[in-house]
Amino acid sequence: MSNITVSRLSQKVISPAEPTPGGELRLSWLDRYPTQRALIESLHVFKEGHEPAKVIGGALGKALVYYYPLAGRLVESDEDEDGELRVACTGEGVWFTEASASCSLKDVDFLEHPLMIPKDELLPHPNPTLDPSHENKLILLAQVTEFTCGGFVVGFRFCHAVADGPGAAQFMAAVGEIARGATRPSVEPAWARDAIPDPINVRRGPLPEPSKSKLQYLAMDISLDYINHFKNQFLEQTGQRCSAFEVLVAKAWQSRTRAVNFRPESEIHLCFAMNARPLLHQTLPPNGGFYGNCYYIMRVSATSRKILHSSVLEIVKLIKEGKKRLPAEFARWAKGEVIGDPYQITSDYGTLLVSDWTRLGFAEVDYGWGPPVHVVPLTNLDYIATCILVKPSAQKPGARLITQCVAAEHLTPFHDGMINLEH
């Protein structure tokens, strides 16, 4: 498919459609966490549309009236000795690129794995390239690429320091509502960063050190029968229900542990982000419009021997026990009573970082022609072991697991372990 081309037709900066407040806004402790400065990249694939760049670009400017901080720039405040990161509400706008592809979405399998178009051709990159000191200040960039079939892909680069997954999806949903004719978002956005705890004496861990490991990308579509096989077993054995996320993460952790063959006595870790909004319902605005970072990373640890010799159902129990610790552990963190840094991301091969994209809201965004057929989370660091659960394409009920968690020599046994229902 080397003859496929993507042509960028135009680029511009879209500013709020009406005047917006100025000044600087303070970010929360979690917003300012060093790893949040990254631009989170994703592709959202839509089967059909009519002049999508024009529609989405127009709605974007109107949505920025309400989400005006996103049209600003990141700055390091002169008021603080440590140069605390803030948002300057300059109203400068977001980078917006219009592009066209020389093929249909069907020709590239709707961007199912493997990506038949390099991701950077579908993501917004200012041309000429901006000076890094300038690009590092940007909060949001978007690109709409139209395909010959009438379908289109929206590529986002969204600064994690200003919004987490549910927050980014909330903004995209607002753009969609306005694109469909609404005069304002149905959910009123709220900055409310003071509601997030600012723990005293909690020292942030160092940034992850790059390693020599080059972890391999693997996407797997998991059938509903596969998921229900384990869910029904769990219900029969415990009388309790479990989620598809718990089943698939347990299976991935077990399969990875067996594939890598860690030393039996070594301690391995499973880390996953949990939405902390329900724990702050007394301080967050009641309308649910908060879009900043509000999550906690739970860690479940065990020896390699335990994970090797446990059933999937027993590992599901470990994950459920970890989830139950959230309220108490988050409260201790908020008071500055935890040991270590729960948000520290590591490149240690013994740690697997997992996340669930099925409930963030990306799969429900509608710009006027229905929700996406496919959402593709993208990772830039191939040395941090990750596993992401996303909704599959509409014609494939079940789940899709996108992993980048094992080195090349462990990829085949990891895949074989995942498809084995016997353990």
Q: Quick check: bond before 114 cis, omega within 30?
A: yes
Q: What is the Cα gyration radius of the chain? A: 22
User: How far is the C-alpha of 55 from the C-alpha of 333, rounded, in Å?
Assistant: 44
- Residue the block writes with tokens 């004496």: 201
Tokens encoding 215: 């972890």
Tokens encoding 341: 């840094």
Query: Active-site residue 107, yes or no?
Result: no
Is the separation of the CB atoms in 20 and 92 below 8 Å?
no
| Nearest-5° Cα angle at 328, 325 to 332 | 125
User: How far is the C-alpha of 248 from the C-alpha of 375, rounded, in Å?
Assistant: 18
User: How far is the C-alpha of 101 from the C-alpha of 281, rounded, in Å?
Assistant: 45
Query: Active-site residue among 44, 160, 374, 410?
Result: 160
The sign of the torsion formed by the CA atoms of 282, 200, 354, 225 equals negative
Query: Active-site residue among 109, 221, 341, 366?
Result: 366
Chain centre to alpha carbon of residue 390: 10
Query: Active-site residue 366, yes or no?
Result: yes
Tokens encoding 160: 């994690």
Q: Which residues are catalytic?
A: 160, 366
